[in-house]
Structure 1
Amino acid sequence: MSLHMAEDGGLGNNLRHETVKRACHLAFKAHKSPEKGPGYLAEKRSSESIFSFAGCWSPDEWFAGGAGAFGEAKIDLRQFPCLRSISNDELAVVNQAFLTKFLLILEKSTLRREVMKALDDKKQIIFTGHSAGGPVAIFATIWLFEHLRSLKQIQTSLTSHYCLTFGSPLAADRIFCHAVRREKWSDHFVHFVMRYDIIPRVLLAPPSSMGAALPEILSFFNPNSRGPKNLPVENSALASDFFVNVLRNASCAASHAACTMMGSTNMLMDTISGFIELSPYRPFGTFVFCSGNGRLFVVKNPDAVLQLLFYSLQLSSEGEGPEVAKASLTTHLVYEDEINQNLGRADPVYFDKFVDIPLNSNDSIGTDMKTIDDALTDFGLGARARLCLRAAIGLEKQKFINQSKIEERKGPMQKAMSELEWYRSICETRGGYYDSFKQNKYNEDFKANVKRLELVGYLDEIVEMLKRYELPEGFEGQKEWVYLGTEFRRLVEPLDIANYYRHLKNEDTGPYIEKGRPRRYRYTQRWLEHFEQKPSGSRGESIIWAEVEELSFKAYSNEPFTALRPKIKEIEENLKKWLEEETVAKDALSEGSSLVKLWKDLRQKYNEVQDITGFISSG
């Protein structure tokens, strides 16, 4: 999403200023509506449908019982299959209470039917929410994008749909951010944040630290509350304590993240994080920071957003604390005025287009640098904050530098794999690719092992970067690398398995699949399964030789057929399917291969065992 002015006076990329203003208006209308009914409001126009979600004002509706210290819980992949790191297989963590609210709305209301009708009518769909309605809008948008992806319509339909939040608390972790950026959904989430609004920062603090202040603060924002509406504002001690507590926890989260970005080796930070539990919640999407004086600051870098959430709330002096504390509450209710007055009045400042950040104001700096310097000054960002923003830019830049280095490996990898393809072709008369390498009788087998080690080195380097999240989020979803990783896995893993069992590593370590399979094959298999939207474990064609080895060990150990039957049937079904798909080479059924020998022995003992050599002609 771009906030540059389009020729029609809109925001460009199918999101007009008028749409943002209407969404903000509807978000506040939902905020003021009673806490009953479907939990959302809908406005349907000729070209768009806007769905706005109401907030919630009880602490129990912000922090679910039984969840973590911050009300967090891991996502259920059956509901949101994309919300994970593919390579590391880490699940996203979200605020359980807000997710539960969305799922109840989806189940109990007509939301699903109305959204599907809007899709059929080819309308632009906007999900929006103010305050605690924001996370519900976020989950609704993810639900929509998951639905479109399952229909393989995500590329053609995604461009027009958006999530717009106003003063939304953070509600998801870094893995959520990673997944959304990988899927190229990130630009479709736009979060407006007033500089002094405390609510977007509030979930950086655990509920246990807020005590009795939280219910009173939430009651203040509840339009249906019968209590004294001005209590938190008049009670400066309560407002100040709440403000300071949130800011202190935000400081811990931002400082720890900054040290990580800067590569700090100081053990103190690890020690501190060991007894101070840090919030799991992190920003994602596009943030539009509103200064309150007309300036809009657009930031997409999630690490920079976290620093801004903390540093833009800093006090100029201790004396202004009570007033800023009160403003941190009242500012949460002024988004509609801010959007109507300032959206489109002047071009925003785009943080992500700057490759450097000035540490101090200087009259001699160029025009572009003066623009960013003025914006940073407007948000009260001093030298320390600017250093942290520089680190965020540097970290993002380093990820792309790392990817450039990895891209240079493509040529050598493809060349080495071509040589292994040639090696496989000459193994057809030697019992097949797997068995020839395992027996290691010929000079070509030695050369193939050299190529195996060369390719393993390339992939292990990539795996280590992915393990530490040192590559751009989109890397593991890129078609070229999915295909290259799949080709690598199908060519090299059989050789790794042969090497494993030739050296009897199974006797010391255990079965290859359970104990010895390296990450490089697990990672590349997950890439393909995610890309093809297949169930986890469904693309295991490269481990068929490990299955054969373990079955052979059990069969020749005279285990009863009742124990062997499930694995025999599984291998037969998979082998037939993979031969038809050509994901397992036909040399697997070469005369003299260990697979053919095992099946001949099994057929002599058990009538149920199929003649697998017939699978080639049926393919």
Structure 2
Amino acid sequence: MMIENIFCSEVELGALLGSLDIISDAYGAVLETCSTYQFHLRPSGLHVLAFQSSDDYTRRFLEGECGLVSSKDFSVVEFINSGVNASFSINKAVVEFFEHLTNLLTEFENKHIHTPLVVTGQYLGGYLAMLFTIWLQRTIDEKESVGIKNNKRPICITFGSPLVGDEALQCAISDRQKWKSSFLNVVSIDDHIASFFSSNSRYKPFGTFLFCTESGGHAAFEDHEAILEVLDLMASSNTGNYQKYDYKSILNSITSKALYRGASNQVGEFNMSLLREGITLQFREVGLLDNLSNDLIDKMVNKQENQKKTYKPRMSLNRMKESMANMEGYIYSRRSKGGYYDCYKNERNRNEIDGVNLVIRHHVILNKYWEENVEINSRMPQKEGANLRKRWLYSGNNYKRMIEPLDIAKHYRKFETNYITTARSNHYKLLEKWWNDDKKDLNPNEKMKAPNLNIDSCFWAHVEEAVLALRDLKNGRSSRNREDIKHELEHFMAYVMQSIKDYLVSSDIFLEGSSLMKWWNEYNTYKRGLCYSEFSQYMKSGRYKSYQ
């Protein structure tokens, strides 16, 4: 049995990367680059953009002249965002280099953005490759957000590049799946420049690290703690020798070893779990197992096992739509029973409880899916993909209109109050904001038909507050001023009437037994029919029966 077929994905990834000619092609382009940057068309047909840094600048870097600087102080890196109103720290060398690449950015966006590309560099040249790749990823995100789909995302392959930024930069990359998967740093265990920064600094890794040895041993790591541990072990053997490392021979050794991997006699202790053995093999492959603490392996095993157990809501958009379709079926089936909002809230009988239990699973799935995706996108700039791609944003708005009423029902079922101000989830607020921002760019069109779902997903929360206000008005025990309560109810009726005029509410709000109809009947009785608001006249005349 081939050992790379029985372990964790990082073992398989290491085996795959070791067999790819693309890495050798990229390094060949680095060796042939004599200026700050140069385009190459490799014999394999691969397009490569390679960066170089001067030996003098590398010397200054190694002498400590280039520390971390705040992104707030350099507009040239404002295209990276690590969160709302957040900043990150990045090595000063890459910022200074990048400031001189304005012409390249313009040329590339106009001529080369539609071509599959590998961006590469060694050491500080790798710094430039990373930042250029981030810029290109962000540019493609913005183009895709307005429907331009023919752009090609780059792959960044660096050689021996030290860590470039802090934890905020790490998060900015790692939170974007399409960015995160674009970075590969090839690092020789004997390359001391690569381990110039390790865990005793503020620097943090991102992307995938392919550690390798002169004999061709190689292992891919994506776990941030494991990467730092390897860099620490490399740094501990450093005697201050920071000579430039030639990766050509080591890449040849990797390619040769990838053609034939040892069989299961390398596996070792079969009583170990496959996951633990896979992680152990990674460190053994690069000759670091004997220097490693068991604590790290335990930590990595626990982390990966927990990830497997944890619910993963990153299902496909199509699968999410399946849950939406099931919810639509539930909504339709409850129209004869006063509407899905009240059925979910009241659970009148055994059959209704069974129906509610069926829909709870889809409710949970959809909430987890959108909470995670909104959280990820909330850490990105407003322009980036319009926070969510157009179809995601459209689906997110439909989800909010369909599912938030269920959260409102749960809230008021427990006799709680003030859902909008005290209990509304932030992901609903953000979806609403993004949707409204997106609508600003659209030409408004007059609606002439009632929607299937209320446009305002908080409609039922307004109804519930009106129910509570009427109760306070009737029993006279509230500490609130009666005139204030009356004004609140008048405001509510004006809100509902305007929603009707603008076709912003579903005809389901007028179903017999709905919370709105119960409120209206109770209010009309309390007023003894002596109510003259526009909404009251609309209801008393029976015109609501023809609303559709």
Deviation at 1:149, TM superposition (A): 2.9
Helix, strand or coil at the partner of 2:255: coil
Question: Structure 2-normalised TM-score?
Answer: 0.59
Q: Does 1:116 align with 2:38?
A: no
Q: Residues 122-144 of structure 1: CA distance to partner in whole angstroms, max 9, x if unpaired?
A: 43334334434534432321221
**How much does 1:494 deviate?**
1.1
Match of 1:325 in 2: 239
Change in Cα spacing, 1:400 to 1:542, as seen in structure 2 (3 Å) is: farther
Counterpart AA for 2:204: R
Aligned to 1:517: 424
Residue by residue over 1:360-410, the C-alpha shift from the partner in whole angstroms, topping out at 9 and shown as x without a partner, is: 899xxxxxx999869737534316346624642553354234458999xx9
Of 22, 39, 42, which residue of structure 1 is paired with 2:29?
22
Q: Would you say the 8 A contact 1:361–1:373 is kept in 2?
A: no
Decide whether the 8 Å contact of 1:548 with 1:595 is kept in 2: yes
Give the match for residue 432 of structure 1. 339
2:62 is the counterpart of 1:63: no
- Secondary structure of residue in 2 paired with 1:171: coil
5 Å matches for 1:495-510?
495-506=406-417
Equivalent residue number for residue 382 of structure 1: 290
1:164 to 1:451, Cα distance in 2 relative to 1, 3 A? same
Q: 1-side partners of 2:121 and 2:350: how far apart?
A: 68
Q: Which residue of 2 aligns with 1:253?
A: none
Deviation at 1:53, TM superposition (A): 6.3
Aligned-residue offset at 1:517: 2.9
Q: Is the Cα–Cα contact under 8 Å of residues 90 and 164 in structure 2 kept in the other structure? A: no
Assess, with a 3 A threshold, how the Cα gap between structure 1 residues 124 and 423 changes in structure 2: closer, same or farther. Answer: closer
Tell me how far 1:424 sits from its aligned partner: 3.0
Aligned residue in 2 for 1:150: 142
Give the structure 2 partner of residue 309 of structure 1: 231
Q: Secondary structure at the match of 2:204?
A: coil
C-alpha separation between the residues in 1 aligned to 2:211 and 2:148? Answer: 29
CA distance in 2 between partners of 1:53 and 1:382 (Å): 36
Hey, what does 1:48 align to over in structure 2?
Answer: 47
User: Aligned residue for 1:299?
Assistant: 221
Q: TM-score, normalised by structure 1?
A: 0.54
Contact 2:48 2:117 in 1 (8 A): yes
Q: How far off its partner does 1:460 sit?
A: 8.4
Q: Secondary structure at the match of 1:326?
A: coil
8 Å contact from structure 2 (residues 341, 406) kept in 1:
yes
Separation in 1 of the partners of 2:358 and 2:278? Answer: 54
Unmatched segments (≥5 aa) in structure 1: 31-39, 85-89, 206-248, 251-278, 316-323, 363-368, 470-476
CA contact (8 A) 2:159 2:186 kept: yes
Shift of 1:201: 4.2
Shift of 1:497: 0.7
CA distance in 1, matches of 2:29, 2:392: 42
DSSP-derived class of the 2:240 partner: helix
1:167 aligned onto 2:95? no
What number of residue pairs does the alignment pair up?
A: 459
Q: 1:557 aligns with which of 485, 489, 500?
A: 485
Cα deviation digits, residues 418-471 of structure 1 (max 9, x gap): 4x65553354355533345556666655555545666667778999999999xx
Write the deviation string for residues 327-376 of structure 1: whole angstroms up to 9, x where unpaired.
2xx14x22xxx2222323443878xx99x9989899xxxxxx99986973
Q: Deviations over 1:128-174 (max 9, x none)?
A: 34434534432321221232233338986446543435323242438
5+ long unaligned stretches in structure 2: 1-11, 271-276, 377-387, 440-453, 470-482, 521-530
Compute the displacement of 1:552 (Å). 8.6
Deviation at 1:62, TM superposition (A): 2.6
In the alignment, the residues of structure 2 paired with residue 349 and residue 530 of structure 1 have an alpha-carbon distance, to the nearest angstrom, of 51
| Rounded Cα–Cα distance in structure 2 between residues aligned with 1:551 and 1:487 | 25
Give SS of 1:164's match: strand
Q: SS at 1:168's partner residue? A: coil
Q: 1:587 aligns with which of 505, 508, 516?
A: 508
Q: Report if aligned partners of 2:140, 2:151 keep a CA contact under 8 Å in 1.
A: yes
Q: Write out aligned runs for 1:142-541 (5 A).
A: 142-152=134-144, 157-158=151-152, 161-173=155-167, 176=170, 180=174, 183-204=177-198, 249=200, 279=202, 281-292=203-214, 295-315=217-237, 324-327=238-241, 330-331=242-243, 333-334=244-245, 338-347=246-255, 376=284, 379-382=287-290, 384-385=292-293, 388-389=296-297, 391-393=299-301, 395-403=303-311, 418=326, 421=328, 423-429=330-336, 431-435=338-342, 437-438=344-345, 446-451=353-358, 491-506=402-417, 511-517=418-424, 522=426
Asked whether the equivalents of residues 208 and 220 of structure 2 are also in contact (C-alpha less than 8 Å), the reply is yes
> Alignment partner of 2:252: what SS?
coil
Please tell me whether the aligned partners of residues 370 and 427 of structure 2 are also in contact (alpha carbons under 8 angstroms): yes
Q: Is the 8 A contact 1:357 1:390 kept in 2?
A: no
Two-structure CA RMSD over aligned residues (Å): 6.3
Inter-CA distance 172–559: structure 2 relative to 1 (3 Å threshold):
farther
Please give the alpha-carbon distance, in whole angstroms, between the structure 2 residues aligned to 1:517 and 1:431.
Answer: 24
Task: Determine which of 522, 539, 545 is the counterpart of 2:460.
Answer: 545
2:129 counterpart of 1:137: yes
Give the aligned partner of residue 230 of structure 1.
none
What is the deviation of 1:530?
Answer: 9.7
